[in-house]
Structure 1
């Protein structure tokens, strides 16, 4: 019965996506949903940007192992990112009326910076998309017994089809429906487990002391690692096309701003449910923690073996909703950058109809390449690791300084990307690991230094030349 409802859910999702795809008339509808989405849909689609496999499965496993200190990056960092975007970035970017983040780098710094920044954005998505595809395959393997490879192909094909035809128009509306399923599904699971435990009091009475503590150790290395965990997604996800694309689809700058802020608060609230479920599972069924050997499997194992079929249908429906919402937006985002900022400049007088077709072909290209990653990797964590780090140490500074510092120029942006990126890569992959400062923090500081140096250098050199002439 579980397998039947999961398969039914997948095809109903496809049908809904294709239904809304009929409304797509031009590239603006496809990429930004006509820039007319109301607050409730903007909130839902921004929330869905990251609420995927890592949030549901990863959060529950990390809490079991480390407590709340282990989930700083996600969900706390993600919530911080959405709130910061709403407060400092949404209105300014919305009012520029651009299609992609790559367009901002072109407007502010020129074609060369646009190209480099766009390539970085595109490369950062392969692992993230593949991770969602792999997670979909593993979920289908768990509930139906089919091989993970076939699960990846089946579920990914459904996401790819409605993304190709419906773009953001379909994604935003499917996200709204799936968010409702996610929230209701997770709450229903909580109610059953709380009942099985004899009430919330019994659960909280058995939670180990310090589980909810998010304060870091004052030991320098651990404290700096804690700071880096906040910044990885807290700042590293700000210059990302998927969240930009969802928020810029709003009908006004005010809706874009509040949609992002509310989504951040909602994300943090709902993400506490998987964390609570992980803690509850470890208390009710401690044998799962010791026997499985992987804390990320505890939650799904508990649902399959210790809940009724109705709860299983609700939970796995919610889980698939979360992953599919994340996967669809993540697939469209780099495809849009590829078509708009990499390919389109080589074609003069490209009609809107041809550009729309080009973007759809770009979705296919990104999907095929990401599928390749998903089919050759076995770990969701390995695919996600480092996805946002390179973005943070290269293109965050040019975005932030470009919006808030009038002296920011193309030389500064280029130096920020080069110095920040090379510094991070050198420390992350070629150092002996003796530094107490995380490579991420050093790379970010190096990027900021490059941004300031490059922006001020022309004026400094001009002043020195003028002094010599005198």
Structure 2
């Protein structure tokens, strides 16, 4: 293991205890605990429509069953390694873009959540808190690598757990709060038949779209063993569910509160106005808890923010250094790779901090980036790990089709109109009722598979050798040895590849022999013409000699 890989993966020496904590803390960030409380409180959602806890938990289970063991066993360093080995540096660079945007927007969203929280609880400028928190997270990540990120996650997760649970008894016993069981239908919510397709679509996006993130695979690949990588995924899924409980209770408390009986004056018909519903958790800390408890709860939110922000920034920096810089400059020393990684930590962290301060719709951008990760990266990861004949042609076709299908279906949160209206389209609300994200994801996967298979068969037939192989990738993609392993595991497939190579070599030999015979005949004819011009006819012996 090189020096840079040691920093990225903590020497592949993360044990089960630390691994479970760092995996759980990575998902249980500021957006997770704030968003869960907001969804439970929101009159239009409620607990039944609060999908993040169950979605992320199932995502970790699915990742552990199908991906963790395989990725760790093959000894990859980043999530992009199998894509780079199979599709080449250029296609990998294209797939790096949605992965990078997802990490940046995720960091920016949780930093923005911290700024809003501190502005409510303490009343100071949230910009200062965002900058300070980002600087602290970048500082220990810069010098400690994954070791620092993982071990601070243990402390941060403990702070989240204690801080939130400490505030719940005080919030529940506040005079303005009614029993959460009295009007439970208010915060439990309901699911209508019209929303069923969207519900499944968003849930699948959380479950399957939560897998192709470097922040997840960095923990998987740092585990000591492949079995350990699976176990930390399973146990972290349970940790995500447990850590959601206090946020759910806080949302239920907020829904059972007579806010007109508190000092808060931002209500409309005794309901928090929509623009401030994302601040439900800090509002409960501020107006339903004593100042000291509010301060401890604020510390819990700050810990949650840093536990996720440092992970996502470090993950983006790792992909850039290992899959971009190292690919562009293969002869680069390990010291330069480390410098590139540290420099990208500062750039990515600084950019995320800037977005968290300046852009108000950061949650929408983060949601869209998660959407693109699901639509684009998940089919690519499925193909490269489980479809032996996949290749660059199919990968590019799937990328373009998935992007096209998703963008043309529209996105109301960013004002993108729908060019294609699927069955059940709500013209009044301008909303797609069909599962457009999953349709785009499946479209990408199907097109990628079909195009890959077509190009693979053409190559086996000898019609894609030489210049016809535009990307010059078929032979590499057919075998794709990575760390001593071949992505093709079917013996018949390997025999077919070898037979095709032999057939091509034999045909090249025949063509070469034919060209040589033609050249010899041309030389013979030339000598005959020269002799005839000189008036000296060739004898039969001389003719045979020229041959």
TM-score of the two chains, using structure 1 as the length reference = 0.86
Q: Work out whether residues 28 and 243 of structure 2, in 8 Å CA contact, stay in contact via their aligned partners in 1.
A: no
Cα drift, residue 380 of structure 1: 4.5
In structure 1, distance between residues paired with 2:147 and 2:456: 46
1:255-294 correspondence to structure 2 within 5 Å: 255-287=228-260, 290=270, 292-293=272-273, 294=276
Mapped partners of 1:391, 1:456: distance in 2: 24
Partner of 1:57: 34
Q: Is 1:58–1:296's contact at 8 Å kept on the other side of the alignment?
A: yes
Displacement of 1:212 in angstroms is 3.9
Q: Please give the per-residue CA displacement for 1:419-462, whole angstroms capped at 9, x wherever unaligned.
A: 11121112123415635323312211211111221222125557
Structure ranking higher on relative contact order (CA contacts 8 Å, 6+ apart):
1
> 2-side partners of 1:462 and 1:39: how far apart?
45
Counterpart selection for 2:317 from 329, 335, 343? 335
Q: Which has the larger radius of gyration?
A: 2
| Structure 1: runs of 5+ lacking an equivalent | 1-24
Aligned-residue RMSD, C-alpha = 2.5
Conserved? CA contact 2:325–2:337, under 8 Å: no
- Determine the C-alpha separation between the residues in 1 that align with 2:398 and 2:187: 39
**Counterpart in 1 of 2:149?**
171
**Alignment: residue pair count:** 436
Return 5+ residue gaps in structure 2 as ranges.
411-415, 426-431, 464-547
- Name the residue aligned to 2:193: 218
Change (3 A) 1:463 1:29: closer
Q: Is the 8 A contact 1:48 1:326 kept in 2?
A: yes
Answer yes or no: is 1:206 the counterpart of 2:203.
no
- Give the C-alpha shift of residue 109 in structure 1: 2.6
Q: Secondary structure at the match of 2:224?
A: coil
Which range is displaced more, 456-465 or 431-440? 456-465
- Give the match for residue 410 of structure 1: 392
Specify the alignment match of 1:140 in structure 2: 118
Tell me the distance in 1 between the aligned counterparts of 2:455 and 2:225: 38
Whole-Å separation in 2 of the counterparts to 1:380 and 1:114: 26
Matched, 1:44 2:17: no
Task: Select 2:295's aligned residue among 286, 293, 313.
Answer: 313
- Aligned-partner Cα distance in 1 for 2:451–2:26: 33
* Alignment check: 8 A CA contact 1:29 1:169 kept: no
For 1:9, the equivalent position in structure 2 comes to none
Distance change >3 Å, CA 99–CA 265, structure 1 → 2: same
**Deviations for 1:168-214, whole angstroms, at most 9, x for unmatched residues?**
11000000111111112222222333455899xx7343133374467
Corresponding residue number in structure 2 for 1:4: none
Q: Aligned residue for 1:441?
A: 438
Offset, 1:238: 0.8
Aligned: 1:103 with 2:78:
no
What TM-score do the two structures reach when normalised by structure 2? Answer: 0.75
Mapped partners of 1:447, 1:258: distance in 2: 31
- 1:253-281, CA deviations, whole angstroms, 9 ceiling, x for partnerless residues? 11111101111121022212201111112
Q: Cα distance, 1:62 vs. partner? A: 1.1
- Is 1:68 aligned to 2:47, yes or no? yes
Provide Cα deviations, 1:205-238, integer angstroms capped at 9, x if missing partner: 3133374467x4333xx22101111122211121
Q: Which one has a larger percent helix, Structure 1 or Structure 2?
A: 1
| Stretch deviating more after TM superposition (274-283 or 286-295) | 286-295
How many Å separate the matches in 2 of 1:249 and 1:330?
A: 15
Distance 1:350 1:153 in 2: 33
- Measure the CA separation in 2 of the matches of 1:128 and 1:376: 15
Partners of 1:302 and 1:463 in 2: how far apart? 65
Cα distance, 1:315 vs. partner?
1.1
Does the Cα contact within 8 Å between 2:21 and 2:153 map onto a contact in 1?
yes
Aligned mates of 1:447, 1:354 — CA distance in 2: 37
Structure 1 partner of 2:494: none
- Encode CA deviations 1:76-97: one digit per residue, 9 max, x unaligned: 2111111111111101001111
After TM superposition, give the deviation of residue 369 of structure 1 in Å.
Answer: 2.1
**Which 10-residue stretch deviates more, 239-248 or 455-464?**
455-464
Looking at structure 2, the residues matched to 136 and 285 of structure 1 have their Cα atoms a distance apart, in angstroms, of 26
More divergent stretch after superposition (450-459 vs 77-86): 450-459
Q: Distance in 2 between matches of 1:139 and 1:89?
A: 36
2:205/2:374 contact within 8 Å kept: yes
